[in-house]
């Protein structure tokens, strides 16, 4: 609050000397700097910028508006002067708005601030670290990896004479940037100094296939690199002129665009580029930064989204990156809260980690990376909130936890939070799977589908644990809602079993109705013209209870111990010498063709008699030898069997080392019997 007081006084003297006397005026002004206006007060009828004459004397007073002074003339210009004084005071009160915080300066994620004479990190992420150490008149930059087996050779030291102050470490190489030296910014006349060096960017690949693969590009005078990012096939730099410059790995300039606001931070993964920029001045009431995030697809040259970036009120942005397993944007603020953007509800930010109050006072977490279930951060002391280069720090994994409330009913909030996190990962996988299927990427879609099925199984496991706790707490309505969130049909059967176990009859009936409705929905969603899947013999098979109809036509990779398959299976890939010929094929088609081609041989089939319809050539020679009955001339007795119906190792050894009976012709078939006999060559040694 500022107060301005203006006082004007007009004084008159005695008129004894007619021509010698004159009028005198005194003015005192106090100017308010906030209002920017001058206020004067005087007698009524005073003139501004007029002359004051005294008995023909040529005394003049000029109006000086530039100095804030104005001449005050008394209202009575005759020889008679008033004997009173008039004083008028004006008080003006100005209420200024509260001063807000300063806009956050740009920073490089994973970099520590520069300190004179001390080494610092130019970049530290999940791949490795880039450290700069001062050496005499230059710096030595060292690149280290957390997993050295990922790269073929060690990156040599870089002698830095440019003064690189930030870097971005990626899978393909390191992207550096330096500030302009003194003299490049120029004097007031606009002439640049001759000894100045402009700001520069440089890229050094790890495994170049061609010579001279590293390149350097100077920036125009007056332009500095503020943020860097390295993707799979591109490099990005945001400059002080609010320009976004994109380069290829070889140095070609692929795109140049204007940013909507001053850049704050930038990160990249694959072909995606995320930029955080100022959308306006900070809010003076909440002390919060007005930040926006825009994400671009550099391959399709499109904007994926652009929306406000919500942070904890009164905090600053401290880290920007992507999740390591699903590629979701993630941020961290100065309060230690980590948020991940999910594709649900058109894109929302979910707080996945928040340190406790005791932990905030005892330690500082310096984020490095985040996955779908863990946060990787370097634990620092409050006195040293940033990691030091020496000794080399290592990040610590911490489990993510959503701020879930503890409700009555016996279910711990950790189980519900775990189910929500797994649902977040599955939503991301589902979105990527739809994109891969739309783009015709068959192999990637198959891998994503496998990951999605595994993630749904893990989510159902967490939901079933929470379901059991809720049923024990007799919260059947909540339990039914949890059962409706299950992904797999088998998980619904497990929920029904748990409900019957705890004697929740009403809950079990409703789960049964829900299962029937879901089964009807799955059948209705299947194409009407699709043929019913049939087995090798034409018998129809039941639909997959998991809804995995895409796996019906795939070849089964279940290992079969011996070459025992039905007649519907093509036998061209069978090993030569193991087939019994056309007679065996006919016999197999007539008696043993009922077995499906994709079903493996059960242990009980190892001891099947020859007359059971399996055929003489259904097993390998050694298997036929072991599986023969004692009275059969085609083999030997295997003696006692194990609990699973298989011969024990001792009986196998006896069968392999037994001598043939001289009265029969079994010795003539001994070379054939030992064709696949693993004990034939080791029998003399085992006998000793």
pLDDT digits (tens, 9 = 90+) for 192-243: 445 578 999 999 999 888 888 999 999 999 899 999 999 999 999 999 999 9
Q: Is residue 108 very low, low, confident or very high in pLDDT (cuts 50, 70, 90)?
A: very high
State the pLDDT confidence band at 304, using cuts at 50, 70 and 90: very high
Query: Tokens in use for 244?
Result: 């976004």
CB 107, CB 265: distance < 8 Å: yes
Q: Above 90 in pLDDT, residue 257? A: yes
Quick check: 254 pLDDT over 50?
Answer: yes
- Cα–Cα distance for residue pair 331/657, rounded to 1 Å: 70
Helix (H), strand (E), coil (C) string for 438-498: HHCCHHHHHHHHHHHHHHHHHHHHHHHHHHHHHHHCCCHHHHHHHHHCCCCHHHHHHHHHH
Q: What is the pLDDT of residues 394-407, one digit of tens each?
A: 899 999 989 998 88
Mean pLDDT is lowest, of 83-97, 403-417, 428-442, for 83-97
Share of the chain above pLDDT 90, in %: 40
CA distance 104 to 91: 39
**C-alpha dihedral, 150 to 153 to 157 to 159, nearest 10°:** -110
9 in Cβ contact with 86 (< 8 Å)? yes
Task: Give a three-class secondary structure readout of 370-412.
Answer: ECCCEEEEEEECCCCCCCCCCCCCCCEEEECCCCCCCCCCCCC
Q: Which of 404, 358, 392, 400 is nearest to 375 (CA)?
A: 400
Average pLDDT score, the chain: 73
Residue-wise pLDDT for 25-70, tens only, equals: 333 333 333 344 343 334 443 443 434 344 444 444 444 444 444 4
Contacts of 623 (CB under 8 A, 6+ apart): 562, 606
Q: What is the pLDDT of residues 130-188, one digit of tens each?
A: 999 998 888 999 999 998 887 767 788 899 888 899 999 999 999 999 998 876 444 44
H or E stretch covering 416: helix 413-439
Q: Rounded distance, CA 635 to CA 652, Å?
A: 12
Using alpha carbons only, what angle is made at residue 291 by residues 285 and 293, rounded to the nearest 5 degrees?
155
pLDDT at 12: 40
> Quick check: bond before 429 cis, omega within 30?
no
* Separation between Cα atoms, residue 641 and residue 626, nearest integer Å: 11
Nearest in space to 125 (alpha carbons), one of 341, 352, 370: 370
Model confidence at 255, pLDDT cuts 50, 70, 90, reads very high
Question: Mind listing the pLDDT tens digit for each residue in 337-390?
Answer: 999 998 888 889 999 999 888 788 888 999 999 998 899 999 998 888 889 998
Sheet with 364-370, side-by-side order of all strands: 364-370, 374-380, 396-399
pLDDT of res. 50: 39
> How many CA within 13 A on the CB side of residue 274?
24
b (16+ CB within 10 A) / e for 534-544: ebbeeeeeebe
Q: In whole angstroms, what is the distance from residue 209 CA to residue 205 CA?
A: 10
Say whether pLDDT at 591 is over 70.
Answer: no
């Amino acid at each position: 609050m500022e107060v301005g007081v203006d006082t004007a006084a007009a004084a008159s003297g005695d008129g004894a000397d007619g021509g010698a006397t004159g009028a005198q005026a005194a003015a005192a002004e106090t100017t308010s700097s906030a209002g920017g206006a001058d206020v004067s007060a005087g007698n009524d009828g005073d003139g501004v910028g007029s002359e004051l004459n005294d008995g023909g004397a040529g005394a003049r007073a000029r109006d000086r508006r530039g100095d804030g002074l104005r001449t005050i003339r008394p209202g009575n210009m005759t020889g008679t002067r008033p004997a009173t004084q008039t004083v008028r005071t004006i008080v003006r009160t100005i209420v200024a708005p509260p001063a807000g915080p300063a806009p956050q300066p740009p920073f490089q994620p994973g970099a520590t601030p520069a300190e004179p004479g001390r080494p610092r990190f130019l970049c530290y992420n999940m791949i490795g670290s880039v450290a700069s150490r001062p050496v005499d008149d230059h710096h030595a930059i060292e690149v280290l990896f957390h997993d050295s087996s990922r790269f073929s050779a060690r990156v040599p030291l870089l002698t830095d004479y440019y003064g690189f102050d930030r870097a971005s470490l990626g899978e393909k190489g390191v992207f550096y940037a330096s500030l302009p030296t003194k003299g490049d910014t120029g004097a007031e006349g606009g002439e640049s100094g001759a000894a100045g060096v402009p700001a520069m960017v440089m890229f050094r690949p790890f495994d170049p296939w061609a010579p001279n693969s590293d390149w350097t590009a100077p920036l125009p005078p007056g332009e500095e690199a503020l943020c860097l990012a390295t993707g799979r096939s591109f490099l990005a730099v945001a400059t002080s002129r609010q320009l976004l410059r994109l380069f290829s790995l070889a140095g070609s300039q692929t795109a140049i665009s204007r940013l909507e606001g001053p850049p704050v931070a930038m990160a990249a993964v694959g072909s995606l580029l995320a930029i955080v920029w100022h959308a306006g001045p900070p809010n003076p009431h909440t002390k919060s930064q007005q930040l926006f995030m825009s994400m671009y697809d550099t391959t399709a040259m499109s904007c994926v989204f652009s929306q406000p970036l919500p942070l904890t009120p009164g905090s600053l942005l401290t880290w920007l990156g992507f999740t390591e397993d699903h590629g979701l944007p993630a941020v961290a603020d100065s309060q230690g809260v980590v948020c991940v953007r999910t594709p649900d509800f058109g894109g929302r930010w979910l707080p996945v980690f928040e340190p406790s109050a005791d932990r905030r006072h005892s330690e500082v977490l310096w984020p490095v990376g985040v996955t779908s279930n863990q946060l990787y951060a370097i634990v620092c002391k409050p006195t040293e909130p940033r990691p030091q280069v020496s000794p080399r720090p290592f990040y610590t994994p911490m489990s993510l936890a959503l701020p879930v409330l503890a409700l009555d009913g016996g279910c711990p909030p950790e189980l519900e939070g775990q189910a929500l996190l797994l649902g977040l990962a599955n939503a991301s996988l589902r979105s990527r799977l739809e994109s891969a299927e739309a783009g015709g990427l068959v192999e990637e879609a198959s891998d994503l589908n496998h990951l999605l099925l595994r993630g749904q199984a893990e989510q159902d496991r967490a939901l079933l644990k929470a379901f059991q706790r809720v049923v024990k707490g007799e919260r059947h309505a909540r339990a039914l809602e949890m059962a409706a969130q299950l992904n797999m049909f088998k998980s619904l059967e497990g929920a029904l079993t748990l409900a019957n176990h705890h004697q929740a009859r009403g809950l079990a009936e409703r789960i049964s109705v829900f299962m029937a409705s879901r089964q009807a929905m799955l059948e209705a969603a299947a194409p009407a013209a699709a043929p019913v899947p049939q087995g090798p013999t034409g018998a129809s098979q039941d639909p997959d209870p998991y809804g995995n109809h895409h796996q019906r036509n795939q070849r089964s990779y279940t290992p079969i111990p011996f070459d025992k398959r039905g007649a519907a299976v093509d036998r061209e890939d069978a090993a030569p010498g193991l087939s019994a010929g056309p007679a065996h094929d006919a016999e197999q088609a007539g008696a043993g063709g009922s077995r499906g081609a994709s079903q493996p041989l059960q242990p009980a089939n190892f001891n099947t008699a020859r007359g059971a319809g399996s055929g003489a050539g259904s097993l390998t020679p050694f298997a036929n030898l072991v599986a023969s009955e004692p009275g059969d001339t085609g083999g030997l007795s295997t003696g006692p069997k194990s609990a699973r119906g298989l011969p024990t190792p001792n009986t196998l050894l006896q069968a392999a080392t037994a001598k043939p009976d001289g009265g029969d012709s079994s010795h003539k078939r001994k070379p054939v019997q030992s064709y696949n006999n693993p004990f034939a060559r080791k029998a003399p040694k085992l006998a000793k």
